[in-house]
């Protein structure tokens, strides 16, 4: 049993049980989601372990990661702030909104804040074109959507996430 399998044994067995043994490669997406859940990216070791569990080549698993924009093989911010700047949103001010967030975070598009908390990036349509500016935050194993935003409301979301990280760090220090 490899390291990834040992770490998530119960969850992996539950996922694999949903598929006939001869079709276990169909479990690749849920296993990748599991690998990404804790630290928001899939490490090379996890990639190799998933390939071994599913009896697939590492290249095949990596191609799934490469195809889907919600899977990541690079360790970046704990929270990915993904702002739609596609044309319909751009017409409602998404580019100015995106620039305001970048300025507040002190990074440019695709950049990560020095504390490792936020990566900000532009994405294509998030299916809320009429409610732009719109962004999603991917992190802590979930995706949250925010619509009809202003720079001020978005900064409140960012401040709340920052505060959550501060509180967690305090509790860890208290427990140590």
Minimal CA–CA distance to 111: which of 141, 85, 74, 154? 74
Nearer to ligand FES, 25 or 92 (CB): 92
| 133: preceding bond cis by omega (within 30 degrees) | yes
Does 62 interact with ligand FES (rule: CB under 6 A)?
A: no
Q: What are 45's two structure tokens?
A: 């070791």
Does 88 interact with ligand FES (rule: CB under 6 A)?
A: yes
Spell out, one character per residue from 131 to 150, where the chain touches ligand FES: x when CB under 6 A holds, - when not: -x-x----------------
**40 close to 18: Cβ distance less than 8 angstroms:** no
Half-sphere exposure (CA, 13 Å, Cβ side) for 30? 16
Of 1, 125, 159, 169, the residue at the interface with ligand FES (CB under 6 A) is 125
Minimal CA–CA distance to 87: which of 119, 129, 46? 129
Does 126 interact with ligand FES (rule: CB under 6 A)?
A: yes
Does 166 interact with ligand FES (rule: CB under 6 A)?
A: no
**88 close to 125: Cβ distance less than 8 angstroms:** yes
Does 84 interact with ligand FES (rule: CB under 6 A)?
A: yes
Of 107, 129, 151, 165, the residue at the interface with ligand FES (CB under 6 A) is 129
CB of 72 to ligand FES, least distance (A): 21
Interface positions with ligand FES (CB under 6 A): 84, 86, 88-89, 125-129, 132, 134
């Amino acid at each position: 049993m490899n390291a990834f399998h040992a770490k998530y044994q119960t969850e992996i067995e539950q996922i694999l049980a949903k598929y006939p043994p001869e079709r276990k490669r169909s479990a690749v997406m849920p296993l990748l989601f599991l690998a990404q859940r804790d630290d928001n990216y899939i490490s090379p070791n996890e990639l190799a372990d998933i390939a071994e569990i599913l009896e697939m080549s590492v290249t095949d698993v990596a191609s799934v990661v490469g195809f889907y924009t919600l899977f990541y093989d690079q360790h970046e911010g704990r929270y990915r702030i993904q702002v739609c700047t596609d044309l319909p949103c751009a017409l409602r001010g998404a580019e100015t909104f995106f620039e305001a967030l970048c300025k507040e975070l002190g990074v440019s598009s695709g950049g990560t804040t020095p504390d490792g908390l936020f990566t900000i990036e532009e994405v294509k349509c998030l299916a809320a074109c009429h409610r732009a500016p719109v962004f999603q935050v991917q992190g802590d194993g979930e995706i949250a959507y925010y619509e009809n935003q202003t720079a001020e409301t978005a900064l409140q979301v960012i401040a709340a996430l920052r505060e959550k990280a501060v509180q967690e760090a305090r509790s860890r220090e208290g427990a140590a």
